[in-house]
Structure 1
Amino acid sequence: MAEGRIVKALSGFYYVKSGEEIYQCRGRGVFRKQKITPLVGDFVTFESTNLDEGFITDIKPRKNELIRPPIANIDQAIIVTSVVLPDFSPLLLDRFLVLIESKDIEPIIFISKMDALSETMIEKIDYYRKVYEKIGYPVELYSVKDNMNMEPLSRYLANNVSVIAGQSGVGKSSLLNKLKPSLVLETGEVSESLGRGKHTTRHVELVEINNGLVADTPGFSSLDFDNIQLEELGNCFPEIAMHSTSCKFRGCNHIKEPKCAVKQAVEAGDIASSRYDHYLRFYEEIQTRKPRY
């Protein structure tokens, strides 16, 4: 019996790294009966007679997991968003942040394609960088094309399990190729007419970069809030969670309640109005979603 971590899942096989070796394993039938699916990132116990014929016998408890992409035990999520093509969208960035916060994963914001930054966009990007840094999120601006600020980016990866998230076309694969050229990940150019990149990443795999493990994933194929409850939403906005402790009423939703410390903080400029607007928008979305049976 040996122990290791699943670093890749492909066509029903799980590739388990134990020491310096990688073992090709299948899951035991018992997992199917229990409706447990081994995930990339899982710590497992397995038995094997050689590198090609192993069986996973046990999956250790997970500290967190994502369904799309299917991966477990993540330390941080690097959200890649671009200046243009596709255009920088604070609303979309906040959707990613809320989803990641809801999973107890540390978010980091990378803003790509800084070489394409126009005069008119400089103020906007600078404003939002300050908004997110004030909340406590690390924000890094970079350009793969101009090799700008690439070295600091790789430092985030050291000794961490990271997932790279972001909409298609923002440059997730280009970033990983730059940080580890031997990967040669296929990059999808952005379709000018649709403003969307082609989905190029086919399976989930943890690759070693700068003494850390990184999953290049197909972004989040779903950005809905199906698993977030109304009362949890405020906790997914750290600045709202912080100010909510001063609200007059327990269970304040920060919408129409009197003496709401969150609304006061928005008026005082301590919470960015864009973030509060997005909170209201997501609140309404969760409130009006159809129940699932």
Structure 2
Amino acid sequence: MPEGKIIKALSGFYYVVNEGTVTQCRGRGVFRKNKITPLVGDDVVFQAENEQEGYIMEVKERKNELIRPPIANVDRAILVFSAVEPAFSPGLLDRFLVLVEYNSIEPIICITKTDLASEQEIERIEGYARDYRAAGYEVLLVSSETEAGIEQLFPHLEGKISVFAGQSGVGKSSLLNVLRPDLELKTNVISSHLGRGKHTTRHVELIEIGDGLVADTPGFSSLEFLEIEAEELTGCFPEIQKQSENCKFRGCLHVKEPKCAVKEAVETGTIPRYRYNNYLDFLQEIKDRKPRY
């Protein structure tokens, strides 16, 4: 039986691409019984009834899955943040980074609207960019208006499944328009949906950009740390994880423990203080979370 990838899910149908041909499939009844929901991004085995229709017979093992947006096997998250209008927010970026790291997705930080920023604002942004690059992240500074830096994005999309995510108004739709101009209508729908806050019901679809697939979706609609445990948070901050190997105690949470290598690294400036403060805030949020039964 042929294998393919689900590129769209809509009204109980799954659109599976195999060697350039798209087959509209239904899921087998046994999926419902076993509580398996095929997701966009899933690699599947399907049986074609004819040239247009078929049934999904098996969903292959996933490397990850997101609930909102509902998508599986994501390789990269392009985290889109603006230099200005709205102002760059490291606190919100760190929240996105934690969720992406926890789901084993590689983040690319993309800072837009550089053409609107003053010299002073660009200096501030470049300071943040240095910090994030030192932590091991790829940081791109771009402008959809002038198209400066846009070409840097294409190699990161090549051969991957990517999602674009970021707060409303940062220019995700403008960026997608520059990357693939014929998407104008779709991305306008995304931005207006975001503005009205109705985007949660929108279907997810994988679209070709360059040599990769990008999820045509408004991105993460939940930014709460519902699954992450306190001990797992360190692993979502690469520079804290690295320094924690030198901590005196195993299982150190880097808050009040004596001879904590992470706290020492904050004092010496090896770890930016704002990153550490965000770590502490997120840790408290996880500890204060109501238990789920």
Superposition TM-score, scaled by structure 2 size: 0.94
Which position in structure 1 is the counterpart of 2:76? Answer: 76
Q: 1:110 & 1:16 partners in 2: Cα distance?
A: 30
Structure 1 residue 278 displacement after superposition: 0.2
Structure 1 residue 187 displacement after superposition: 2.4
State yes or no: 1:58 paired with 2:64: no
Deviations 1:245-284 (A, max 9, x none): 1000001010000000000000010000010000000000
Which position in structure 1 is the counterpart of 2:173? Answer: 173
Greater fraction helix: 2
Which position in structure 1 is the counterpart of 2:162? Answer: 162
SS at 1:186 equivalent = helix
Contact 2:5/2:41 (<8 A) preserved: yes
Change (3 A) 1:189 1:99: closer
Change (3 A) 1:70 1:3: same
Q: 1:101 & 1:205 partners in 2: Cα distance?
A: 23
Structure 1 residue 54 displacement after superposition: 1.2
Structure 1 residue 153 displacement after superposition: 1.4
Q: How does 1:118-197 map to 2 (within 5 A)?
A: 118-184=118-184, 185-187=186-188, 197=195
Contact 1:169/1:198 (<8 A) preserved: no
Structure 1 residue 229 displacement after superposition: 0.5
Deviations 1:221-248 (A, max 9, x none): 1000000000000000000110101000
Which position in structure 2 is the counterpart of 1:264? Answer: 264
Q: 2:9 & 2:169 partners in 1: Cα distance?
A: 24
Which position in structure 1 is the counterpart of 2:103? Answer: 103
Percent identity reads 60
Q: 1:186 & 1:102 partners in 2: Cα distance?
A: 28
Which position in structure 2 is the counterpart of 1:236? Answer: 236
Contact 1:168/1:198 (<8 A) preserved: no
Aligned AA for 1:100? V
Change (3 A) 1:100 1:17: same
Q: 1:172 & 1:13 partners in 2: Cα distance?
A: 28
Superposition TM-score, scaled by structure 1 size: 0.94
Structure 1 residue 167 displacement after superposition: 1.3
CA RMSD of aligned residues (A): 1.7
Aligned AA for 1:64? N
